[in-house]
Amino acid sequence: MQPQEIAAAPQPTYMLPAVESLSPPPSNLIIGKARSQWSTIRHMVALVIICFFLMSSLTIIPMGIVGGNGSLALAGTICSLPILLLFFHFRKPKLLHVMVVEPFEGGKNAHPLPGGRTLTTPLSTRFRHHLVRDSTLLDIPTTGKLWSVFTIVIITSITLFILMILQPDNIMILLIALAVGIPFWMVGFAIPVFAWWSYSTRSLGLPTKRHEAESVLSAGFLSTFPAVIINSILFPLLLLAASIDPFSEVGEIMLITISAPIGEELCKAAAVLCCYRFIDSPRRGFQVGFTVGLGFAMLENIMYVSASFSEGFAGFAITSFLRGIGSIPGHAVWTGLSGLGIGWLLYKKPTLGGILPKSVESPSADFVIFDAKTGQMAHNPTGSGNSAQHMGIQAWNVQQYINSQQKKKPWPLPTSPLTGIILAMLGHSFWNGSSLLVYFIVEKAAGEVAGIIAMILWTFTMIATLLWIGKNILSSLHSVPSS
């Protein structure tokens, strides 16, 4: 007799409950993570180097088209594509996954979380989670720290230059020079830009989200491309059409006094207008213009500082120093005036008569920043009145700065884009052309050496005047609407 088979008991089936779907975040949720003050600098230095190679490869395309060389244009296109993808990778938005649990009658005591985890609560709660744009505030080292780094590099460069002259066969000095070459190059073209950025941000007293500030600086990087096309291709073609040799003395003078001021300032003003969604006031317009000018100067600086190494560390030190205290703030102040005029226009007509999309104002909210490792919160590091430090985040007392400026009579500043852009062009043209004019006048009267000395002295005079003008403009902005 066969033993009766016993039916196997059904095995229980376990199913993980589904995680709640992502939902739109509350409109007043502004959140970010505390980061190193140097993280923005590292990120933007890498991005500007990418933009430099992108600009170099993109410029080959119109050169090939104008020269009738299809192979050159195709090579430029092929080389540009991977660099363009790398640029978009660096500019992709940084998102934060925020999970919120709050008491809720009729809720649950257990909530499935992403990653197969479960959250249990003693009370009935409701679970929601959102993807939020990282709204960390811009926070970079103080101006003093940045200028200190720059000064150390300049002094070290001069010291190396002297040692290499005194001991040209010293292998150790040569190895040190080779080791510090690339780091010094990065400091030379970048740190002065961030020093002026830190100074302007703290002086204007406008808390700025990091991703917005980086977008504006990137717009300054990209504005160099059309400016290069104008200066290198379009304007020389225009001179040739007028029977003027672009490489003659007259052609070079016209290039630096007409093409560069008009073309570059128009390109930078267009970049400011492209950042319209960040401009809610005239003062913010100046800040955006100032930052775009810094971005333009930073990429331009790569070319000048790189070329300066052909004259050794002394050439590098002199070029970096003169551009750091002169050309960089010059670009920033000139474009700041254009931005101020554009800011007034957008302040009065936010959509420009329906041309621009209507922006939705975000309700006021506290900025809350969490430390990525500890989860602790640094409250109100906005610089809006509290002077404190939390987890490396520096806040500056804006009201104290504004009060210190009340005793000074503000300068009249441009209130229209046309006025601002014209002032920017005139300032840029005078800066470029006056030094050359001084050289020609003194050179004909007293010789080449005297002409060079006169040009150097005039350059320092212009730098001192520019810094004085820039300081008074920043002081006068306290009377300009900020929101």
Compute the Cα dihedral for 107, 110, 112, 113 and give only its sign: positive
Is residue 368 helix, strand or coil? strand
**What tokens does 82 get?**
């991977």
Contacts of 268 (CB under 8 A, 6+ apart): 220, 223, 227, 289, 292, 293, 296, 331, 334, 335, 338, 424
% the chain with pLDDT above 70: 86
Residue 430: inside a domain = yes
The most confident of 122-126, 284-288, 434-438, 471-475, by mean pLDDT: 284-288
| Alpha helices (H) along 107-166 | 143-166
Residue 260: C-alpha distances to residues 274, 347, 367, 424 (Å):
21, 29, 41, 12
**Residue 202's closest CA among 152, 146, 154?**
146
Gap between the Cα atoms of 291 and 332, Å rounded? 7
Residue 383: inside a domain = no
- In contact, 209 and 133? CB cutoff 8 Å: no
**Residue 421's closest CA among 310, 309, 293?**
293
How does DSSP classify residue 351?
T
Instruction: Determine the pLDDT at residue 384.
Output: 34
Instruction: Determine the pLDDT at residue 364.
Output: 44
Instruction: Determine the pLDDT at residue 279.
Output: 93
What ranges make up the beta strands (E) of 114-243? 117-133
Q: What residues does 16 pair with on adjacent strands? A: none
Contacts of 124 (CB under 8 A, 6+ apart): 103, 104, 105, 106, 107, 108, 109
Higher pLDDT: 387 or 472? It is: 472
Element (H, E) at 385: none
Residue 259: inside a domain = yes
Instruction: Determine the pLDDT at residue 389.
Output: 40
Q: What residues does 137 pair with on adjacent strands? A: 209
CB atoms within 10 A of CB 355: 8
Q: Which domain holds residue 204?
A: 192-371+419-479
Report the range of poorest mean pLDDT among 2-6, 194-198, 398-402.
398-402
Residue pLDDT, tens place only, 306-331: 999 988 899 999 999 999 998 999 99
- pLDDT value at 380 more than 90: no
Residue pLDDT, tens place only, 85-132: 999 999 988 888 888 888 988 888 888 888 778 888 888 998 888 888
**What tokens does 211 get?**
């991703």
At residue 74's C-alpha, the angle toward residues 69 and 79, to 5°, is: 130
Residue 423: inside a domain = yes
3-state DSSP helix/strand/coil % of the chain, to nearest 5: 65, 10, 25
- pLDDT value at 302 more than 60: yes
Instruction: Determine the pLDDT at residue 363.
Output: 41
Instruction: Determine the pLDDT at residue 203.
Output: 86
Instruction: Determine the pLDDT at residue 439.
Output: 85
Q: Characterize the bridge pairing of strands 368-371 and 31-34.
A: parallel
Residue pLDDT, tens place only, 50-75: 999 999 999 999 999 988 898 999 99
Gap between the Cα atoms of 377 and 370, Å rounded? 4
Contacts of 375 (CB under 8 A, 6+ apart): none
Residue 335: inside a domain = yes
Instruction: Determine the pLDDT at residue 6.
Output: 57
Instruction: Determine the pLDDT at residue 382.
Output: 36
Instruction: Determine the pLDDT at residue 152.
Output: 96
Instruction: Determine the pLDDT at residue 67.
Output: 86
Tell me the pLDDT band of 398, cut-offs 50, 70 and 90.
very low
At residue 114's C-alpha, the angle toward residues 109 and 116, to 5°, is: 80
Measured in whole angstroms, how far is the alpha carbon of residue 189 from the centre of its chain? 13
Contacts of 70 (CB under 8 A, 6+ apart): 64
- In contact, 107 and 100? CB cutoff 8 Å: no
- In contact, 223 and 338? CB cutoff 8 Å: no
- pLDDT value at 38 more than 60: yes
Residue 58: inside a domain = no
Residue 230: inside a domain = yes
- In contact, 187 and 153? CB cutoff 8 Å: yes
Residue 145: C-alpha distances to residues 38, 198, 252, 290, 380 (Å):
11, 10, 39, 21, 23
Angle between the N-to-C axes of helices 282-308 and 260-274, in degrees from 0 to 180, rounded to the nearest 10: 130
- Strands of the sheet containing 31-34, edge to edge, are 31-34, 368-371, 377-379
Number of H helices, E strands in the chain: 15, 7
pTM for this predicted structure: 0.85
Residue 312: inside a domain = yes
What is the average pLDDT across 359-369?
49
Compute the Cα dihedral for 190, 195, 198, 199 and give only its sign: negative
Gap between the Cα atoms of 74 and 57, Å rounded? 11
How does DSSP classify residue 447?
-
Gap between the Cα atoms of 424 and 339, Å rounded? 10
Higher pLDDT: 408 or 120? It is: 120
**What tokens does 204 get?**
């204007």
- pLDDT value at 388 more than 60: no
Report the range of poorest mean pLDDT among 76-80, 101-105, 279-283.
101-105
Tell me the pLDDT band of 136, cut-offs 50, 70 and 90.
confident
- pLDDT value at 468 more than 50: yes
- pLDDT value at 24 more than 50: yes
Tell me the pLDDT band of 292, cut-offs 50, 70 and 90.
very high
What is the average pLDDT across 35-40?
86
Domain count along the chain: 1
% the chain with pLDDT above 90: 51
